Amino acid sequence: MGIQVLYDNKSYTVREKETVLDCLLREGQNIPHSCKAGSCQSCLMKMVDGEIPEISQQGLKPTFKQMKLFLSCQCYPKADINVQLPNDSGLSVQAKILEKSLLSSNVLKVRLHLLEDFEYLAGQYITITNNEQVVRCYSIANQTKKDRNIDLHVRLLPDGKMSSWLQDVAQIGDEVKVRGPAGDCFYFANGKIDNPILLIGTGTGLSPLYGILLDALENGHTGDIKLYHGALKEADLYFIGELNKIAAKYSNFTYVPCVLRGEEGNFYKTGNIEDIVLSALPEDKNNTKVYLCGAPELVNSLKVKVFLAGFSNNNIYSDAFLPSKE
């Protein structure tokens, strides 16, 4: 008999190279999950008895670790374990939908109002669950404030379970469950407010970058901040007015919109955002902080290329918007 997972008074055998989540799903158990990549924290479980592999607690808050919580999608048990779904209290807070508005034809801004205190930093991400038990991650686009409001930029996907629900079904005042925050894409300068910052993203990858930009400026950052925002076509760019206004007010901020299928001679740069970024990297490779957000292919590719160009891995922060693997 192989390694056993005891859940809900039943015992299941874990197959070779199988996670606890996949084992329980295979056995027909209804375990919440989304990314299956260790990002969204929707698959949190509690270890009642047994050893927790370190990797399955990566990125969890210290309090979660103390509560013996772990990510079941990252857990490959080495011996028999006894697990349960955690009690929601202390893990999630309720939030009301306060506003919805279109930022472009395919980006919806959603403002949530959290019903309890919730500490976060602009640029981190939260995991929301709606009343249909759909779970998705969204990055925090607004400055770190104490008003309990959180702005999300949601890309509208045809038949997207969460994005369609937010656009077509959800009403102002409806509640969602919010878990998190998570992620290390946020502004921190450690007193070095004159170091350069490079913000790079496509589509709604702008969301965390916008939050980071606002936080940096609010904190009096004096170093050069350059934001590259990539889109497939001109109509997919959004927040152009807001970003131009910020650029007019702060001489250390440069906004570089990039359009893959654009026309030369416009207000944006035309071509592949990767080539555009790599052709004009800052000279101060030791001190520049680089933030990469959005489409996983771009984030993963640029992470390697920026590192190979001489930037320190310790200064590269990224959030790949991995799709759900329900």
Ligand X SMILES: Cc1cc2nc3c(=O)[nH]c(=O)nc-3n(C[C@H](O)[C@H](O)[C@H](O)COP(=O)(O)OP(=O)(O)OC[C@H]3O[C@@H](n4cnc5c(N)ncnc54)[C@H](O)[C@@H]3O)c2cc1C
Residues found near ligand X in the complex (CB under 6 A): 35, 39-40, 125, 136-139, 153-155, 157, 159-163, 204, 207, 319, 321-324
Q: Are 320 and 38 in contact (CB under 8 A)?
A: no
201 vs 257, beta carbon nearer ligand X? 201
Closer of 12 and 303 to ligand X (Cβ): 303
- Comparing CB distances to ligand FES, the nearer of 41 and 195 is 41
Q: Decide if residue 230 touches ligand FES (CB under 6 A).
A: no
34 binds ligand FES (CB under 6 A): yes
Helix/strand/coil for 279 = coil
Give the per-residue SS3 of the chain. CCCEEEECCEEEECCCCCCHHHHHHHCCCCCCCCCCCCCCCCCEEEEEECCCCHHHHCCCCHHHHHCCEEEHHHCCCCCCEEEECCCCECCEEEEEEEEEEEEECCEEEEEEEECCCCCCCCCCEEEEECCCCCEEEEECCCCCCCCCEEEEEEECCCCCHHHHHHHHHCCCCCEEEEEEEECCCCCCCCCCCCCCEEEEEEHHHHHHHHHHHHHHHHCCCCCCEEEEEEECCHHHCCCHHHHHHHHHHCCCEEEEEEECCCCCCCCCEECCHHHHHHCCCCCCCCCCEEEEEECHHHHHHHHHHHHHCCCCHHHEEEEECCCCCC
Residue 33 as a binder of ligand FES (CB under 6 A): the answer is yes
* Residue choice 23, 38, 281, 289 for contact with ligand FES (CB under 6 A): 38
Report the residue number, 39 or 143, with the smaller CB distance to ligand FES: 39
CB of 266 to ligand FES, least distance (A): 39
CB of 39 to ligand FES, least distance (A): 5
Is 134 a binding residue for ligand FES by CB under 6 A? The answer is no
- Closest approach, Cβ 108 to ligand FES, in A, equals 22
Piece in contact with ligand FES (CB under 6 A), picked from 36-44, 84-92, 100-108, 184-192 = 36-44
Choose from ligand FES, ligand X, none: what does 41 bind? Cβ within 5-8 Å by kind.
Answer: ligand FES
Tell me: does residue 39 bind ligand FES (CB under 6 A).
Answer: yes
- Of 35, 69, 81, 91, which one interacts with ligand FES (CB under 6 A)? 35
Report, in Å, the least distance between residue 218 CB and ligand X.
Answer: 20
Contact between 178 and ligand FES by CB under 6 A: the answer reads no
Give 19 or 207: the residue with its C-beta nearer to ligand X.
Answer: 207
In the complex with ligand X, the residue whose CB is nearer, 182 or 290, is: 182
Q: Within 106-205, where are the H helices?
A: 161-164
Which residue do the tokens 């013996």 mark? 68
73 binds, among ligand FES, ligand X, none (CB under 5 to 8 A by kind): ligand FES
Angle at 176 between CA 297 and CA 324, to 5 degrees: 25
Task: Note whether 199 binds ligand FES by CB under 6 A.
Answer: no
Please work out the total of residues on this chain that contact ligand FES, with binding judged by CB under 6 A.
12
| Structure tokens belonging to residue 66 | 């103390």
Q: Which is nearer to ligand X, 155 or 229 (CB)?
A: 155
Q: Which residues bind ligand FES (CB under 6 A)?
A: 33-36, 38-43, 71, 73
